[in-house]
Structure 1
Amino acid sequence: MNLTEHYNQLYKKSSEAIRSGNYILDPQLNSETDSRFGITVLIRPNETVKTNIQLFLAALKEVEPAQYYYPDSDIHITVMSIISCSEEFRLDQISPNDYIGVICKSLVDLDGITIKFKGVTASPSALMIQGFPTDESLNNLREKLRDDFKNSDLQQTIDSRYTISTAHATVMRFQEELQHPEELMQIVEKFRDFDFGEFTGENLELVYNDWYQRERNTIHLADFRI
């Protein structure tokens, strides 16, 4: 996949939707009864990148303070959703050690994963930082995880919703009607090609998480040094 082209097409379509009022609010963000959980392999950006992301979010908050902004603790890149979030899944249905073993197998001979965060894109319901892997390490790991889990007898839903191929980080979601959509998009345009920084992930995490990867609802299952 050409990530630049993908992000550009997504931005063009979504920015038009946001400006015309056809964005999508997330009704579950403040729900006390949202019980969608899953397990995920993820990687987190370093402190420098997160500081730069918060500069962007601070500018957005000036014009749209009522939206949902990700704290540093929740910002991540999804490497693979092993079991997609659903109301039916609970951690006591599986043995985490079995999953840890498969992931360890997938990590054999893995090179470090370096990702450059440059620019901002959008969906009809969120704003994201554009991530660009500098080599094929992330894609190679994803293919190994797909193969190793599909060749196991463990419960998994890999690629059931969509085939993951990007390296973006979602940082803001629409939870209230936009008060200043044009001003919001003007700020987004200013950061459209902003260099948020590059980092090399040294640690992968396996977590039991809610839909939004909120720290307060996350159970950390394992770390993997790479």
Structure 2
Amino acid sequence: MTKPELQQHYQALWQQSLLKFEQHQFETDPLLTAKDDKRYGITLLARPSEQVKQQIRHHLAELMQLEPQQYYYPASDLHLTVLSLISCYAGFTLSQIDTAAYVELVKEVIADTGPFRLDFQGITASPSCVLVQGFFDDQKLNQLRAKLRSAFGQSTLQHSIDQRYAIQTAHMTVLRFTQQPANPVLFLQKIKALTSVDFGSCLIDELELVGNDWYQRQQNTVLLSRFDLNKSAVNTAV
């Protein structure tokens, strides 16, 4: 997607969700607090800079005071999904696959992918969550995703790329609804004020291949490998 296409896509998401929010229709996630949620998968992701994380947390502070019962992603869990290789499903464990083969294939694919810059500006939403909008000017992220899709499609490795939806954006989920907002009118007023906030930009020069739960909680995340886009090299986690 080009930047204008991303803007159009985010705006369409926002307008659709806004209609529901204005009717006090917020989709809550009953599994957020479930202790028996066994969904697990593998994701190639990027982390925003500490400065971007701080900006996000700073601008969410009023919302957190107003609606403390909602689920706000901690700074440690904020991420951009490059590609979900195995979408989370109940019963999957890392022991079922050869993780080294996944690391090696990703390493081959990203060998000529350099760093890319992302700009985080404004928010959009789905009926169940609030998202920070990410934008990119060049097509490195799109090209990387296309190469990964091709490589895994030609491999014999288990994957479920694009089965849920074909990811094209650079958004980050920052809030999920655990219950209906106590003050939906004021809540909506607060999130509308975030649509024009500049959360900053950062250079993405490192990617992580991780085993993860549905919410990318740090305590359930297993780092399989870290890829340095500056060197086109891989440092495998021990």
TM-score bin (small chain): over 0.9
1:9 pairs with one of 5, 9, 12: 12
Does residue 211 of structure 1 match 2:195?
A: no
Moved over 2 A (4+): none
1:84 shift after superposition: 0.4
* Cα contact 2:114–2:205 (8 A) shared by 1: no
1:102 equivalent in structure 2: 105
Q: Distance in 1 between matches of 2:121 and 2:199?
A: 6
1:189 shift after superposition: 1.4
Q: Distance in 1 between matches of 2:111 and 2:224?
A: 19
Q: Distance in 1 between matches of 2:39 and 2:118?
A: 29
Q: Distance in 1 between matches of 2:152 and 2:22?
A: 42
Does residue 147 of structure 1 match 2:157?
A: no
1:158 shift after superposition: 0.5
1:130 equivalent in structure 2: 133
Does residue 164 of structure 1 match 2:176?
A: no
Q: Distance in 2 between matches of 1:189 and 1:161?
A: 28
- Could you state the TM-score of these two structures normalised by the residue count of structure 1? 0.98
Aligned-partner SS, 1:107:
helix
Aligned-partner SS, 1:121:
strand
1:134 shift after superposition: 2.2
| More moved, 173-182 vs 210-219 | 173-182
1:59 pairs with one of 56, 59, 62: 62
* Cα contact 2:121–2:200 (8 A) shared by 1: yes
- Could you state the TM-score of these two structures normalised by the residue count of structure 2? 0.93
1:109 shift after superposition: 1.4
1:111 shift after superposition: 2.3
Q: Distance in 2 between matches of 1:129 and 1:165?
A: 14
Q: Distance in 1 between matches of 2:196 and 2:114?
A: 28
* 2:81 maps to amino acid: T
Q: Could you tell me the percent identity over the aligned residues?
A: 44
1:18 shift after superposition: 1.5
1:74 equivalent in structure 2: 77
| More moved, 180-189 vs 120-129 | 180-189
2:204 pairs with one of 198, 201, 206: 201
1:102 shift after superposition: 0.6
Structure 2 regions of 5+ residues with no counterpart? 230-238
Alignment size in residue pairs:
226
Structure 1 regions of 5+ residues with no counterpart? none
2:186 equivalent in structure 1: 183
* 2:123 maps to amino acid: V
**For the aligned residues, what is the CA RMSD?**
0.8
* 1:200 maps to amino acid: L
